[in-house]
């Protein structure tokens, strides 16, 4: 166990984390489970898209030569010899001098070479008056104009959002080879903790960290299991962690990493695997535990207990690790440069992550600090939309000066 008093830089701790985690091995997943994941195969279209010539409009499939003369003043009248809806089609043929009523998406009948939209006609059923001639191929969607047969439509490395999932389905794929979401197990430690919704007694507080960190893991793209509260009892903590190892790609604990008498996470984890506790040169979030435990060398993060420290530590270390496991890039939050609305201060030698509200004024980003900097002040954290990052060698950012900001999007998975 290393408790060295020296502070280690944020970058060094992050490097140690990232040297341990690797992208998860690819897995065949059902289409919807693959949503949000990174593709690890090229997806080829076995057939063209559209698969057949079809109508882009509700209207009439015609031989263009038959309606060339049509004008509003002198409409062409054609008999309507059939009706084609979208769906299973029996092959129809449009003979010269007649037309067929057709719906959007319905298969073009043989012989027809354009569609007259309903709006250019009187909408007739037995015969139709056509007031305008289409250009060749007008309102016809050609087979293969979206995707050619054999074309690679999605490349390995693509992040699968809604449109990509739709395209994979459109080319017939119900399963995709992707990097799966890492499974994250979240445990809060502390004998003072009570589950939200349960009665409090004097000296007890509600567990905010396991809900917050579980939500953060979900937002990072992971599958998250909230185990909840484990009291400050070394045997119970050790047993819980051991139980959870079977389903965890990553373990995250909060609390019990300082130098207090009941800091059980430190006590228990320091005995296991490669876990080490460091004082990281950051504010908030100085005490950090990290290493691997168990037969599969599962990464475990021992985050500090104060809720803001826990969440900022998650941002700084856990999120980049989870994004790495997902194979996602970038692994970091978007960064922008913003003008400080007020003077910002930061302890010498530490990287500060300050809760700010980001806005745009006169074309530039402005970062306004939320009130209160204590690491127990969760309400301020909930108002923040970004974290201003004040580097180790800067103690003061004057109002009006630039500061780098990590943008916290509150997005669902």
Residue ranges in contact with ligand AMP by CB under 6 A: 188, 190, 192-193, 205, 207-210, 254-258, 260, 304-307
CB under 5 to 8 A by kind: which of ligand AMP, Mg ion, none does 192 bind? Answer: ligand AMP
Q: Residues 364 to 393: which contact Mg ion by CB under 5 A?
A: none
Q: Which is nearer to ligand AMP, 152 or 200 (CB)?
A: 200
Structure tokens at 215: 């939500």
Q: Which is nearer to ligand AMP, 192 or 395 (CB)?
A: 192
Least distance in angstroms from the C-beta of 353 to ligand AMP = 17
CB under 5 to 8 A by kind: which of ligand AMP, Mg ion, none does 113 bind? Answer: none
Q: Which is nearer to Mg ion, 233 or 395 (CB)?
A: 233
Least distance in angstroms from the C-beta of 280 to ligand AMP = 14
Separation CA 373–CA 368 (nearest Å): 13
The CA distances from residue 359 to 367, 368, 401, in Å, are: 7, 8, 15
Q: Does 190 bind Mg ion (CB under 5 A)?
A: yes
Interacting residue with Mg ion among 36, 50, 180, 256 (CB under 5 A): 256
Q: Which is nearer to ligand AMP, 152 or 205 (CB)?
A: 205
Q: By beta-carbon distance, which residue lies closest to ligand AMP?
A: 305
Least distance in angstroms from the C-beta of 37 to ligand AMP = 30
Q: Residues 305 to 334: which contact Mg ion by CB under 5 A?
A: 305
Least distance in angstroms from the C-beta of 376 to ligand AMP = 6
CB under 5 to 8 A by kind: which of ligand AMP, Mg ion, none does 58 bind? Answer: none
Three-state SS string across the chain, please? CCCCCCEECHHHHHHHHHHHCCCCCCEEEEHHHHCCCEECCCEECCCCECCCCEECCCEEEECHHHHCCCCCCCCEEEEEEEEECCCCCCCCECCCCCEEEECCCCECCECCCEEEEHHHECCCCCEEEECCCCCCCCCEECCCCCECCCCEEECCCCECCHHHHHHHHHCCCCEEEEECCCEEEEEEECCCEECCCCCCCCCCEECCHHHHHHHHHHHCCCEEEEEEEECCCHHHHHHHHHHHHHHCCEEEEECCCCCCCCCHHHHHHCCCCCCEEEEECEECCCEEEEEEECCCCEEEEEECCCHHHHHHHHHHHHHHHHHHHHCCCCCCCCEEEEEECCCEECCCCCEEEEEEEEEEECCEEEEEECCCCCCCCHHHHHHCCEEEEECCCCCEECCCCEEEEEECCCCCC
Least distance in angstroms from the C-beta of 374 to ligand AMP = 11
Binding mask 277-306 for Mg ion (x = CB under 5 A): ----------------------------x-
Interacting residue with Mg ion among 36, 180, 255, 302 (CB under 5 A): 255
Least distance in angstroms from the C-beta of 189 to Mg ion = 6
The CA distances from residue 293 to 2, 205, 227, 238, 273, in Å, are: 16, 30, 18, 11, 4
Q: Which is nearer to ligand AMP, 171 or 193 (CB)?
A: 193
Q: Which is nearer to ligand AMP, 208 or 321 (CB)?
A: 208
Structure tokens at 141: 């969607």
CB under 5 to 8 A by kind: which of ligand AMP, Mg ion, none does 257 bind? Answer: ligand AMP
CB under 5 to 8 A by kind: which of ligand AMP, Mg ion, none does 66 bind? Answer: none
Q: Which is nearer to ligand AMP, 58 or 207 (CB)?
A: 207
Q: Which is nearer to ligand AMP, 40 or 306 (CB)?
A: 306
Least distance in angstroms from the C-beta of 387 to Mg ion = 24
The site for Mg ion (CB under 5 A) is made up of: 190, 255-256, 305
């Amino acid at each position: 166990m290393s408790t060295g008093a020296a502070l280690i830089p944020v970058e060094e701790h992050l490097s140690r984390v990232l040297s341990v985690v690797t992208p998860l091995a690819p897995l065949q997943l059902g289409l919807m489970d693959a949503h949000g994941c990174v593709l690890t195969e090229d997806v080829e279209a076995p057939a063209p898209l559209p698969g057949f010539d079809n109508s882009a409009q509700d209207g009439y499939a015609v031989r263009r030569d038959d309606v060339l003369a049509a004008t509003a003043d002198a409409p062409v009248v054609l008999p309507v010899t059939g009706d084609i809806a979208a769906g299973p089609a029996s092959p129809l043929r449009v003979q010269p001098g007649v037309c067929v009523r057709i719906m959007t998406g319905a298969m073009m009948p043989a012989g027809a070479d354009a569609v007259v939209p309903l709006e250019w006609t009187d909408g007739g059923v037995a015969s139709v008056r056509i007031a305008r001639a289409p250009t060749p191929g007008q309102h016809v969607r050609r087979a293969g104009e979206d995707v050619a047969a054999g074309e690679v439509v999605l490349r390995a490395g693509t992040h699968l959002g809604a449109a990509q999932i739709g395209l994979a389905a459109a080319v017939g794929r119900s399963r995709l080879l992707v990097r799966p979401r890492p499974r994250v197990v979240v445990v809060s430690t502390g004998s003072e903790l009570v589950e939200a919704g349960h009665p409090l007694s004097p000296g007890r507080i509600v567990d905010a960290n396991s809900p917050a960190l579980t939500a953060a893991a979900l937002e990072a793209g992971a599958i998250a299991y909230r185990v909840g509260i484990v009291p400050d009892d070394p045997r119970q903590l050790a047993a819980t962690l051991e139980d959870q190892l079977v389903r965890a790609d990553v373990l995250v604990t909060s609390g019990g990493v300082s130098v207090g008498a009941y800091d059980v996470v430190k006590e228990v984890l320091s005995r296991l695997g490669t876990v080490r506790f460091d004082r990281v040169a950051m504010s908030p979030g100085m005490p950090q535990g990290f290493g691997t435990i168990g037969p599969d060398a599962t990464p475990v993060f021992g985050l500090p207990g104060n809720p803001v420290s826990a969440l900022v530590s998650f941002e700084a270390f856990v999120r980049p690790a989870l994004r790495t496991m997902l194979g996602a890039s970038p692994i970091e939050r978007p960064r922008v440069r913003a003008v400080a609305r007020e003077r910002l201060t930061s302890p010498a030698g530490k990287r500060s992550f300050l809760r700010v509200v980001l806005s745009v004024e006169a074309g530039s980003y402005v970062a306004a600090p939320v009130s209160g900097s204590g690491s127990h002040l969760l309400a301020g954290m909930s108002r923040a939309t970004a974290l201003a990052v004040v580097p180790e060698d800067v103690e003061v950012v004057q109002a009006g000066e630039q500061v780098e900001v990590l943008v916290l999007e509150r997005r669902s998975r």
